[in-house]
A and B are shown apart, each in its own frame.
Chain A
Amino acid sequence: MKVNVAADKCVAAGQCVLLAPDVFDQRDEDGVVVLLDETPGPESHDAVRESAMVCPAAAIHLAES
């Protein structure tokens, strides 16, 4: 799995950080998403998929291998 984030679409809701804190973080100044791990391990896949699904800006895109 490869994770892509569109920072220009991010609305800083932080839903991804709540669900997958090992993969996503937020910039302190404006809350915009920071991708910590663009190829997370299988243990994170469900949480990452859920993050992509609930992201209110559709800013997370996954390429599944």
Chain B
Amino acid sequence: MNRVVIVGASAGGLAAAESLRRMGFAGVITLVGDEPRPPYDRPPLSKQLLTGQWAPAKLALRPAADLDALGLELRLGLPATGLDPGRKQVTLADETRVPYDAVIIATGVRARRLPGTDGLAGVHTLRTLPDALALKERLRPGRHLVIAGAGFVGAEVAATARALGVRVTLLEAGPVPLGQAVGEEAGRFLTRLHHDHGVAVHTEAVVTEILSAEGTVTGVRLSDATVLPADDVLVAIGSVPNTEWLAGSGLTVDDGLACDQFCSAAENVYGAGDVARWHNPLFGTAMRIEHRTNAAEQGMAVARNILGEPRPFAPVPYFWSDQYDVKIQAYGHLRDHDEALVMDSDLSRRQFLVAYRRGERVAGVLAVGKSPKILRAWRSLIAAGGPWTAALTSPTAA
């Protein structure tokens, strides 16, 4: 093992590179990134960066000196365009070919766009630093922002924009915002927060047309023919895994790069972070997770599996979201649950806790305003595959 190529220079790719070095790998590590800047953190883009609380420099994932100390061959601002597992080489956009003994695919996801809106002023997505800086320029008191998609990105931007005095309309295609991700009970609680802060929330609202004049957005038309005027539109309708460059590689791509429980997609080919759909033995199912913490954990796991005895990657997924004055935290596999049981719901105290059942076990928990100790007890229960009855009698429920 002399050469490792990591395609994707964000949290997952960086964690893999750091782990390889920490484990004593002294060979060549090439870190390829399509963005021209060193690895930076994305969660603050919808919050501290948009409010202006933080300057872009504060998003750097590592100080320059720490990055230098890793001794990486950095190829930034240069997307990978192809992978040849037979010849064991990655092709970059400048036609150079980089040979590898092992390759880590950590190319992440990009924001899904609405067709026909490219180049239209005032239509935004939010995934990269330039996206956030462009949106930031437009958030001024009294202007009207329509957010198409009430997932976590949409909800966080709604909260930030309200704090800046922007009028906000949040559109959700389903019956309950976030219903798909966290269930209707939690979705309804979080929707109340947005109502309380003056956000107009429309459900069953699908954008059928972006209205514009002279190349600038003027509003949106919904499927029920309602027209909403807008100064800006944020399209926050989910993301698309960056796998097109793997066409012709022979690797299996199916809503992400298909990997086994060791995060391996083929011999000497691994996936990490948002782009990887791997089999998580803890829940007995394949999953692709777009959580900040998973990117780093999976990057580390892949480094271990390249250099050492392969171990299954079986984490308890974790995510958080900051909206207004509350922190939402969740552990486990919330999607596809059989039951979501609300164990505490108190809007005035901004406290909420819902447990998720899958089959006969505790699959997950989502909490608002709960102490870390309570959440760690739930995490242990989920990690141990605890039975649902244990959740019902848990002294940590309240």
Interface residues of chain A, those whose CB is within 8 Å of chain B, are 9, 11-15, 17-18, 26, 28-31, 49-50, 53-58, 61
Q: How far is the CB of B80 from chain A (nearest CB, A)?
A: 24
Asked if A17 contacts B372 (CB within 8 A), the reply is yes
State A61–B18 Cα separation when bound (angstroms): 14
Nearest residue, chain B, Cβ from A46:
B22
CB pair B327–A15 under 8 Å, yes or no, is no
Apart from A12-B327, A54-B15: 16 A-B pairs, beta carbons within 8 A: A12-B320, A12-B329, A13-B318, A13-B320, A14-B372, A14-B375, A31-B329, A31-B371, A31-B372, A53-B15, A53-B19, A54-B297, A55-B296, A56-B293, A58-B41, A61-B63
Say yes or no: A31 contacts B292, CB within 8 Å.
no
Q: In the complex, A9→B55 CA distance in Å?
A: 13
Q: Is the CB of A28 within 8 A of B43?
A: no
Q: Does B188 reach chain A (CB closer than 8 Å)?
A: no
Determine whether B376 belongs to the interface, using a CB cutoff of 8 Å to chain A.
yes
- Contact call A58/B372, Cβ cutoff below 8 A: no
Interface on chain B toward A: helix, strand, loop, or mixed SS? Answer: helix
User: Contact at A50–B300, with CB atoms within 8 Å?
Assistant: yes
Task: Collect the chain A residues with CB atoms within 8 Å of residue B372's CB.
Answer: 12, 14, 17, 26, 28, 31
Q: Which residues of B contact A58 (CB under 8 A)?
A: 41, 60-62
Bound-state CA distance A58–B54 (Å) is 14
A-B CB contacts (within 8 Å), total count:
58
The contact sample of 25 A-B pairs, CB cut-off 8 A, is A9-B58, A12-B327, A13-B329, A17-B372, A18-B379, A26-B372, A28-B371, A28-B373, A31-B327, A31-B372, A50-B300, A53-B15, A53-B18, A53-B19, A53-B296, A53-B300, A54-B293, A54-B300, A55-B296, A56-B296, A57-B43, A58-B41, A58-B60, A58-B61, A58-B62
CB proximity to A under 8 Å, residues B20-34: 22
Q: Give the top 3 A-B pairs by smallest Cβ distance, nearest first.
A: A26-B372, A56-B292, A54-B296
* Interface residues on chain B, size class: 20 to 34
CA distance A18 to B382 in the complex (A): 14
Q: Please, how many angstroms separate the alpha-carbon atoms of A9 and B329 in the complex?
A: 17
State the B residues within 8 Å of A (CB).
11, 15, 18-19, 22, 41, 43, 58, 60-63, 292-293, 296-297, 300, 318, 320, 322, 327, 329, 371-373, 375-376, 379
Which residue on B lies nearest to A55, using beta carbons?
A: B296
Nearest A-chain residue to B47, judged by Cβ: A11
Contact partners of A28 in chain B: CB under 8 A? 371-373
Instruction: Please name all residues of chain B whose beta carbon is closer than 8 Å to the beta carbon of A50 when the two chains form the complex.
Output: 300
Contact B371 A15 (CB under 8 A): no
Q: A12-B327, A54-B300, A58-B62 are in contact. Are A49 and B22 (CB under 8 A)?
A: yes
Of all chain A residues, the one with the shortest Cβ separation from B292 is A56
How far is B354's CA from A51's CA once the two chains are assembled, in angstroms?
A: 28
Complex interface: chain A residues within 8 A of B379 (CB): 18
Contact B19 A11, beta carbon cutoff 8 Å:
no
Given the complex of chains A and B, what is the CA–CA distance between A57 and B11 in angstroms? Answer: 10
A49 CA / B375 CA spacing, docked (Å): 23
A14 and B377 CA atoms in complex are apart in Å by 12
Task: Report chain A residues within 8 Å CB of B63.
Answer: 61
Pick from B18, B297, B327, B376: contact of A30, CB under 8 Å: B327
Q: For A13, list chain B residues within 8 Å (CB).
A: 293, 318, 320, 329
Report Cα–Cα, A30/B43, bound state, in Å: 18
Pick the residue among B11, B18, B292, B376 that contacts A14 (CB under 8 A).
B376
